Structure 1
């Protein structure tokens, strides 16, 4: 742990003026706005491709200027709904009988017949007292005449009364009693008593009790009614407007029904039916959602960097604009011009600037939009032929850019894309022959061949602009920067040949190490070429450029420290002056991190005469390595200088030195701000050791020539 006094000072601020820009680079809100902006542009570009042709001058009662034919088979919604509603209305109301209610009424009747005899059997009570008691136990609102008749019923009639009452109640309620038919059903009791042998009082009592027990028990069943109506509706077959049906013939007076059909088919008014607009918006949202999801999960470094996201979406929009321009030339004479769609433009730019897998995913999305752009009829949303050819063309171009070494490779990729398109078009023609003669096929093949070349030309033209605007490094740009004739490398070679040689070896070490851990090896190599360019300001103060005396022997350790440390900042500023891309500038600024200049620090302590010397004063100002490539170049730089100092480098001594340097940097916290893992550090150490063995291999010692008395140099 370092105390407060020995902590390294903050690194020199390289880009304070870009502080607001840096916050924008990682803003989620800005990222969302970028995708929304692309979606809005795509919506505007595709709107004319998916919405039907409009006939706003047609109205009922007017004469049609041209015949309008249905381009699709579509259900006539209004006619179908009319027939279905008629079928539903034919279904009557459905009722259900409450069986439990019937049982309850019968039980109540039984309870009454069980209770009445108990109150009538008491001989000590008068009829008036019996009636009073019965009114208490029979609270059914029965008339006084009922009770007067009740006390006159003979004892032998109770059993018949019970049976007859129960049978009539069960019979009537079993058939169901609706509220509106209640009185009619109660009248059935009178007909049932006609043949009864009961006396007049008993018949009257039975009639009143039975009528009281007959209540509505059949109710309207809304659910069942609606289900039967739905079933009736579903049984009606849809009435179609078939593809090819003439909706309105030229010269006919447009009827209301024809006008309605035109409206349902989407021929009338741009704002009469919002469904196509909503559908297009949802489709674009799905496609861009898939793009954002792929980038987030499989290319998080692109997703988190809004600069790269902006570049990706700009390429996407540029490709969409190219397709739009080509689609403007599609007509009856040039119906297959869609095979010239520049889908390969987008995939090649993405493959060169970002990633091959991302380019292949975008090729799928470009295929979707290409099929929509070049549909041969506004009612056919997607023409699979153009979508498939665009996907194949774009994918082939992206694959062909693998291992690209110069800008001519882009043209070769365009030719490869053209060949893939031609083969696909020929296969489609063989599987699904197009209408017309062989001229259509030749036209299609010609457009397919031109598409790849056209995309390659556009890619070469736009690539440099994207590299400049977004400060991106494509493999081509890196290869151009690695050219020894670049002004800065020429300056490095001429003014600091030792540093130049050192940088070349560091580049070899760093490239191999980066490839071992999946980092950008080409960036490491080119970054290593430029990492010490700041030494050209004071070349004689760096040991690899010293031919005789060491100027540090004549100055103080503090001044020496200042000169050595300044080369990182000087290099960064020189690279910015020459408009070298930011990643290479950052490697120059970060390759030393905040490491300690141990030699001058210990020298200063020895010469301090007891005065305190702060370790922080002898550390590089940083910043520490922010990405893998900068950390790898820093390791390779330190290793190359250290191994060169070994008197007799052996594989064991070299490996021990390499691992010690990496361990010291790890313990010093130099990798805290980049995402190198312990496993990757081990792979880096192995790779560097293997490369060093090829550089510092053993030499054969030649015997001296006894006649000439001097060593013989090997050829």
Structure 2
């Protein structure tokens, strides 16, 4: 079990690597081309002429030529080696080294401030103390100028020096670029308002702090070399080349060449090969253009494209396996073809329109897989039944609420298949043989149920492999009896009810802008699970108890509050919650500022410096619409609940103010929400909140003070 999980995780990581492949158009084209090639191989035996086996010493009755293009392994390997050699050395930035240098820099400036502000020290003693603390390469001129720096300038010097050093180290410094990167310090200080001595000190310290942190990445270089090798197109052996002439006795060498080609055929016309190739290209173009035009989210995401093509290939392989059993005794086994497998999976994973279109392509393929009549390219009977079965299964899965609905959809697909088979038999009787009809109806009845069982079996593996969330999986996660939600309800009832309210707001808002409302709602349920680690520090769980933040410093309060998204992600990982839910939990606060504790810290600092960055959530900012919407709903629900008189006007103003503040703060910079969509989100949330905070009648009381039920 552990080995299979590790294998699945490693495969999932391969799908995600490298990151720039995810939206690459060339990779997308190669994926469709790869699927087309595999479909070509699957259909070849059913469309092209029959193959023949020959042995050494036998006489060839025909002149045999290479019927297909074959890879020249030696030349291909040589080309791949050249491609690998063309990949240069790859480097990675060591962020830990950069962080260490920044900490050292802060320490140096702390020592400088401490010595300069100590009036009991002479200049000589200050210089002596600082020489023990600062880098040894600093010159005497540096210390002379440092002694002339005013203490008030040290803070600005530190900030400027830190910004310059962070900019340079964040980009990475290679050992052969050290001097060039050090020269950037001079250019960065040109516009500085520091004095002459302070600028010199900043320059020298910052230059000393710049160290090589862009290190050779052997593993990445290796993987890129492997990717370069895999990207090389195979070098072909040209088709049409004569291997053996008619009447010739086959030698060992000729057999070896025929074996190298992989299959033997009589001398044939190359047009069937070209015709099949063109047919496959047309099918792939039909699929590609439909996805591009009507499924842009799938088209732009190569992971989803891989999943689509994998399901397509899986269905084709299923039909291929069934076709192996077609013979005179089981002539109608083609009605068992699991064409509905692909459409049912795609309906659950990518939506009904794409599933129906793939059903059309599956029906074309079924007509070729089961063309028992050699003179026919398509057998319309099997194509028609496959089309009816696949479409019926897809339609039956619309709006499903549990996995058992898949079996119901399979039953509907079986009934549809039987109806299609019966109609065909009535129109074109099969030699008047009733047994053949019963056999055909039996295969048709089994096909839908067979597809449903396969769908249930493959669905969870595809969801895990591609980290996808089907509506069924989301509905399962939204079940209040889920262990994590039960734990949230018991340990943090306030957070639980807050999450439910956020889910209602987020779902309606997401649907208003065309996003996934179900994902937004389920993500809302889990977005604050990190609060279970320290529930008493969040006001909704205090239940009129003393607020522990009143007894601790703002900095400690900030650390506790900011930690809850990270704690939530760790907790969600323990419960194997899918990645999109984890992303919502990690991103719903973005990099927003904890204003309450920030201003409280400033008040207590008595003029001391309090960095705003220290009181911001670490992020990341919202990367997709649903995460941004959950973040808005989270703030809106908390803000509106705290209002004393939540009138529609006040609620509307509050909602728009929260959205405007987040927009001005740049929290939506990394997701694709437009201003129009933000307005729709505000309207939707206002409408939902009006339903929640509607006015209620005040019930009259009787003389004894007991409530009187209205008539």
For residue 379 of structure 1, report the CA deviation from its aligned partner: 2.8
Q: Secondary structure at the match of 1:329?
A: coil
TM-score normalised by the chain length of structure 1: 0.66
Specify the alignment match of 2:332 in structure 1: 336
The residue aligned with 2:645 is 648
The aligned counterpart of 2:437 is 441
Question: Which structure: larger Rg?
Answer: 1
Pick one of 358, 369, 376 that aligns with 1:373: 369
* Aligned counterpart in structure 2 of residue 624 of structure 1, from 615, 618, 621: 621
| Most deviating of 426-435 and 395-404 | 426-435
The question of whether the paired residues in 1 share the 8 Å contact of 2:16 and 2:303 is answered with no
For 2:495 and 2:25, the matched residues in 1 are separated by 43
Matches within 5 A, 1:620-699: 620-699=617-696
Do the aligned residues in 2 keep the contact of 1:519 with 1:629 (CA within 8 Å)? yes
Aligned to 1:493: 489
Aligned pairs for 1:141-220 (under 5 A) are none
1:530-679 to structure 2, matched below 5 A, reads 530-547=526-543, 548-679=545-676
Report the CA distance shift for 1:612/1:270 in structure 2 as closer, same or farther (over 3 A).
farther
Q: Pairwise mapping of residues 276-295 of structure 1 onto structure 2 (< 5 A)? A: 276-295=272-291
SS in structure 2 of the partner of residue 607 of structure 1: helix
The answer to whether the Cα contact below 8 Å between 1:53 and 1:378 also exists between their aligned partners in 2 is: no
Does the 8 A contact of 2:49 with 2:265 survive in 1? Answer: no
Aligned residue for 1:79? none
Please name the residue that 1:214 is paired with. none
Preserved CA contact (<8 Å) 1:367 1:387: yes
User: What aligned pairs does 1:147-546 form with structure 2 within 5 A after superposition?
Assistant: 269-270=265-266, 272-546=268-542
Distance 1:535-1:63 versus aligned 2 partners, 3 A rule: closer
Q: In 2 relative to 1, CA 322–20 (structure 1 residues): closer, same or farther, beyond 3 Å?
A: closer
Q: Does 1:31 align with 2:28?
A: yes
Work out the CA distance in 1 between the residues paired with 2:275 and 2:592.
Answer: 59
Structure 1 window deviating more from structure 2 (486-495 vs 426-435): it is: 426-435
The C-alpha deviation readout for 1:279-320, integer Å capped at 9, x for no partner, is 222211221122122222222221222211111111111101
Could you give the per-residue CA deviations for residues 568-595 of structure 1, whole angstroms, max 9, x where no partner exists? 1111121122211111000001111111
Cα distance change, pair 333–581 in 1 and its aligned pair in 2 (3 A): same
Mapped partners of 1:568, 1:631: distance in 2: 14
CA drift of 1:614 comes to 2.4
How far residue 688 of structure 1 moved from its aligned partner, in angstroms, is: 1.3
Distance 1:21 1:705 in 2: 74
Q: CA deviation at 1:712?
A: 8.0
Instruction: Please say if residues 43 and 280 of structure 1, whose CA atoms lie closer than 8 Å, have aligned partners that are also in contact.
Output: yes
Cα displacement (A) at 1:429: 2.3
The verdict on how the C-alpha distance between 1:504 and 1:271 changes in structure 2, with shifts beyond 3 A counting, is farther
Q: CA deviation at 1:23?
A: 2.8
C-alpha separation in 2, matches of 1:514 and 1:361:
27
Structure 1, unmatched stretches of 5+, are: 1-14, 65-253, 256-267
Residue 330 of structure 1, CA deviation: 1.2
Stretch deviating more after TM superposition (291-300 or 643-652): 291-300
Change (3 A) 1:457 1:622: same
Contact 2:50 2:265 in 1 (8 A): no
CA RMSD, Structure 1 to Structure 2 (Å): 2.7
User: How many residues matched?
Assistant: 497
> What per-residue deviation string (whole Å, max 9, x for no partner) do you get for residues 504-537 of structure 1?
1111111111122221111111100000001111
Deviations 1:648-684 (A, max 9, x none): 2112211121122112212222112111222222222
Question: Aligned-pair distance for 1:711?
Answer: 7.2
Query: 1:476-525: CA deviations, max 9, x gaps?
Result: 11111111222211111111110001001111111111122221111111
Determine if contact 1:557/1:601 at 8 Å carries over to the other structure.
yes
In structure 2, the residue matched to 1:99 is: none
Q: Which residues in structure 2 correspond to 1:100-115 (within 5 Å)? A: none
In structure 2, the CA distance between the partners of 1:673 and 1:402, relative to structure 1 (3 Å rule), is: same
CA distance in 2, matches of 1:36, 1:549: 65
Q: Using the alignment, how far apart are the partners of 1:336 and 1:19 within structure 2?
A: 42
Aligned-partner Cα distance in 2 for 1:559–1:585: 25
